[in-house]
Structure 1
Amino acid sequence: MRMNRRTLMLGAAALPLVSTIRHAGAQAAEFNYKYANNLPLTHPMNVRAQEAVDNIREETGGRVAIQIFPSNQLGADTDMLSQVRSGGVEFFTLSPLILSTLVANASISGIGFAFPGYDQVWPAMDGELGAYVRGEIEKSNLVVMENIWDNGFRQITSSVGPINTADDLKGFKIRVPVSPLWTSMFSAFESAPASINFAEVYSALQTGIVDGQENPLAIISTAKLYEVQKYLSFTNHMWDGFWFLANKRAWERMPEDVREIVAKNINEAAVKEREDVAALNATVRGELEGHGMIVNEPDTSTFRQKLADAGFYAEWKKNYGDDAWAILEKAVGSSLG
C-alpha cells in the first residue's frame, strides 16, 4: 500500500464510520474489546490497526469485535496504561519509554543516540533486544505482541530558534513524555524538561508553557504541531516505537485458535505500518516546510559527547544492568558512553 497524505486522510475519514457501524452490531460478537492509543486517526498506526481489526473480525467469523479509541479519547498515556492493566481496556499501544514507568528496563531501546539508523533498529527489535524487552514486559502481567510498531526517530521542534548544538539546549524549556529516561537525558543537556502527557502537548506549546518538544516527523505532521512551532531540528536523538499490549485476563479468555488469529493480524499490521512511516517520512519534511517550518540538520556529535561527559550513559548502564546493556551494545554495533 502506497502511503501518502491523501491516503492518510481517506483512511482517517473512514475510521469513525466503520468503527460506529461495527460497534452498533458488536453485541453479536463473543469478544467485544477496546483498543486505545494516543495518536490521531491520520497516523499510519490507526490506519493499519483498522485493517487488522477488520481482518480479525472476518477471520474469526465475527467472534472478535475490536473498537478503536484514538487520540487519547480514553485518557492520557499513564491513565490508559492503568486501564489496560486493570482490564478497563483490552488493548493499548505505548512507547517503551513511557512503559518504563511500570517496566523499568523497557526503555533501553530509547537510549540517546544509540541507533545510527533503521538498519540497526529492526534487526535489534525483531531479535535479541526486542525479545529481552518483551520478557521484561511479561513479568508485569501484560501480554505483548511480537512485532513492535514504528514511531520513528525523534526530532526537536522549537518556537524560539533552531537547535544546532548541545549548547542550544541549555535552559531550553522542552516538553518530554512522562518517562525517567527522557527527563534524565534532557537534564544532562542542562535543559528544563517538563513531563507532559501527549494529550496536553499542543496547548502547552500554544500557551508557551514550554518552548519546544520532540517527536517523530509523522506525529509532528499529523498532530499539526507546525501550527505552534516554527523550527524543526533533525537531531535523531532517539528511536521510539509502540509495543502493542493486551490485558492478560482478556487475552486468555479467547481460545488459543482465536488468539493466534488476533496476534497474526496485529503483527502483520505492525510490519506494514513500519513501511508506511518510512514512506511518510520521505515526504513529510517538504510538507512541514510548506507549512512554514524552518528546518536544520545539526551535527549530533556535540550532543552525544555532552551526554557522555554528563555521565548519562554510565548512569543508565548501572540502572539497566550489565547484561541488558551488553545486549543493547551488541544490537547497535558500538560501545556507548
Structure 2
Amino acid sequence: MKSLSRLALPKVFSVLTLSLALASGLTAADADARTLNFSTPAPPTDRPTNDALLWWADEVEKRTEGSISIKIHWLQSLVKYKDAARGVKSGVADIAPMTPEYTMAQNPLLALSSTETGPGDNYVATEAWRRASENFEPLLEEYRRMGARPIGFYSSGARVNMSSTRPYLTPDDFKGDKVRLTPRSVNAANINNWDVTPVNITFADFYSAMERGTIDGAQSYLYLMAPYKHNEVSDYVVETDLGQSLVVVLMNERVWGSLSDEEQKVFEDLLPEYIERMTKAGLEEAAMAKDLLINHPTYAVEYFELDDKQKQAWEKDLAPATEQYVADRAKQNPAATELHERFFDALQEVKKEVAEQGYPWDRK
C-alpha cells in the first residue's frame, strides 16, 4: 500500500493543481507541473531499493517545489529492460536504469563498470566506479553519443549461480547445462572449453526461462532472487563473492537540457544521496534474500558459499577472459585500458577503507 499510495499522489496533485489554476487564475507556469516517466523492471513490492527509489522521487518533487514529478512505470511496462538505453535516447522513457553490458557495442567504456572478479560489495563497487569515472572525459563523450546523462548508479552486489540441476561450485559443474552467462563468462567458456551452452536472456526473463526449461541455470545477483521469486524455479544457489554489475540511471539528454538550472541542481545534489541509499538498500536486500532463500517455508534452496579453492578455480578461468574483454573494449575506444585500471585500483582502495572504517552510514 505504501508504494501504491505514493505513486498515486502525483496524478491527484496534477488534477487539483489544474482545477485550482482554472478557478483562481494561476499562471500557466504555476499550473503546468512537469511529469517525467521513469521506467524500471522492478516489481512494485515492499523492498529497501524500492523505498530508496520512492524517496528519491518524492525528494525531486519536494526540492523542485512541485515543478517536476516522477511517474514510475514498474515491471518493464514502459520499456523492456534490455532496451532501456535505446528507450531513453528515443524519449519513450525520460529516465531508466540500464545494465551497460546489454549495449556494450555502443558504450564500451560504460560496459567496464561490470566485473567478473574483485569485490562484489554493493557500496565498494559503486563508490569505486564513481571515483574512477568522475570527470573522465572519454566516458562523458560516450554518454553524449548515447543521448543520455547519468543521474545515478548503484551495484547489483553479490553474484550468485542459480540452478535446477546441481550447484555450480566450479566451472566443471556445468556438465553441458544451458546457462545464462555474463559476456565475460561466455568468453571464459570459450577460452577454457567449459562444457556449457550459453543462453542470452535478460534477468527479467529468468523465471519463465527456468520454468520452461529453456535454461538450467543462470549467473544472477543475490538481491534479485527474492523479488523475482527465482527460488521457486531454482534448487541450488551458490554465492560466489566475485564480480558485480553496475546499474546506471540515465536521463534523456534533451530532457536534461530542458530543465532549469535550479531543477538540474536538484538532480545533481540528489545523486550522492541516491547512490548511498541504493547501495545500503542493496546490502540489506542481499541479507534478506539469503535468509529467505535458506528458510522459505515452501521454496527453500540449498545454499552454498565458495571456499578458497573453488573461488580460485573461477578466478583462474575468468582472468584471461577479463583481459580479452578489456582488450576488445580498447579496440572500440583506446581509453578502456586506462578506465579499467582506474576502476580496479579504486576497488581495492574503497575495499580497504570499508574494512578499516566501515560503511559511510556507519561513520555518521
Q: Distance in 2 between matches of 1:101 and 1:56?
A: 33
Please list, as runs of the form range in 1=range in 2, the aligned pairs for 1:52-71 lying within 5 A after superposition: 52-71=56-75
Q: Distance in 1 between matches of 2:343 and 2:93?
A: 32
Partner of 1:296: 304
Q: Is the 8 A contact 2:117 2:318 kept in 1?
A: no
Which of 18, 31, 54 is residue 6 of structure 2 equivalent to? 18
Q: Is the 8 A contact 1:76 1:198 kept in 2?
A: no
SS at 1:316 equivalent: helix
2:53 aligned with 1:49: yes
Q: Distance in 1 between matches of 2:201 and 2:81?
A: 10
Q: Is the 8 A contact 1:94 1:243 kept in 2?
A: yes
Q: Is the 8 A contact 2:39 2:95 kept in 1?
A: yes
Superposed displacement of residue 269, structure 1 = 2.2
Deviations 1:18-42 (A, max 9, x none): 2133124436443211001112223
Q: Distance in 2 between matches of 1:29 and 1:169?
A: 57
2:285 aligned with 1:270: no
Q: Is the 8 A contact 2:161 2:218 kept in 1?
A: yes
SS at 1:137 equivalent: helix
Partner of 1:142: 148
What is the letter of the counterpart of residue 142 of structure 1? A
Which of 89, 103, 109 is residue 93 of structure 2 equivalent to? 89
SS at 2:248 equivalent: strand
Please list, as runs of the form range in 1=range in 2, the aligned pairs for 1:1-337 lying within 5 A after superposition: 13-26=1-14, 28-42=31-45, 43-115=47-119, 117=121, 120-129=124-133, 131-132=135-136, 134-135=139-140, 136-145=142-151, 147-176=152-181, 180-181=183-184, 183-188=186-191, 190=194, 191-291=196-296, 292-298=300-306, 299-308=310-319, 311-321=320-330, 322-333=337-348
What is the letter of the counterpart of residue 315 of structure 2? R
What is the letter of the counterpart of residue 240 of structure 1? S
Q: Is the 8 A contact 1:149 1:243 kept in 2?
A: yes
Normalising by structure 1, we get a TM-score of 0.85
Deviations 1:111-160 (A, max 9, x none): 31133656752442120246548523344221112x42232121110000
Q: Distance in 2 between matches of 1:201 and 1:104?
A: 25
Aligned pair in 2 of structure 1 residues 193, 294: CA closer, same or farther (>3 Å)?
Answer: same
Superposed displacement of residue 89, structure 1 = 0.9
Q: Is the 8 A contact 1:91 1:244 kept in 2?
A: yes
Superposed displacement of residue 250, structure 1 = 0.7
Q: Distance in 2 between matches of 1:165 and 1:83?
A: 37
Aligned pair in 2 of structure 1 residues 183, 30: CA closer, same or farther (>3 Å)?
Answer: farther
Deviations 1:39-87 (A, max 9, x none): 2223433221111111211221211011001221123223332210011
Q: Distance in 1 between matches of 2:63 and 2:339?
A: 38
What is the letter of the counterpart of residue 203 of structure 2? F
Q: Is the 8 A contact 2:122 2:279 kept in 1?
A: no
Aligned pair in 2 of structure 1 residues 124, 40: CA closer, same or farther (>3 Å)?
Answer: same
Q: Of the two, which has the highest radius of gyration? A: 2
Superposed displacement of residue 101, structure 1 = 4.3
SS at 1:289 equivalent: helix
Identity of aligned residues (%): 19
What is the letter of the counterpart of residue 127 of structure 1? R
Q: Distance in 1 between matches of 2:123 and 2:157?
A: 13
Partner of 2:358: none
Structure 1 residue runs without a partner (length 5+): 1-12
Aligned pair in 2 of structure 1 residues 80, 280: CA closer, same or farther (>3 Å)?
Answer: closer
Q: Is the 8 A contact 1:107 1:181 kept in 2?
A: no
Superposed displacement of residue 186, structure 1 = 4.8
| Structure 1 range deviating more: 248-257 or 101-110 | 101-110
Q: Distance in 1 between matches of 2:324 and 2:218?
A: 24
SS at 2:246 equivalent: strand
Q: Is the 8 A contact 1:138 1:144 kept in 2?
A: no
Q: What is the count of residue pairs matched by the alignment? A: 317
Q: Distance in 2 between matches of 1:163 and 1:333?
A: 27
SS at 1:65 equivalent: strand
SS at 1:244 equivalent: strand
Structure 2 residue runs without a partner (length 5+): 16-30, 331-336, 350-364
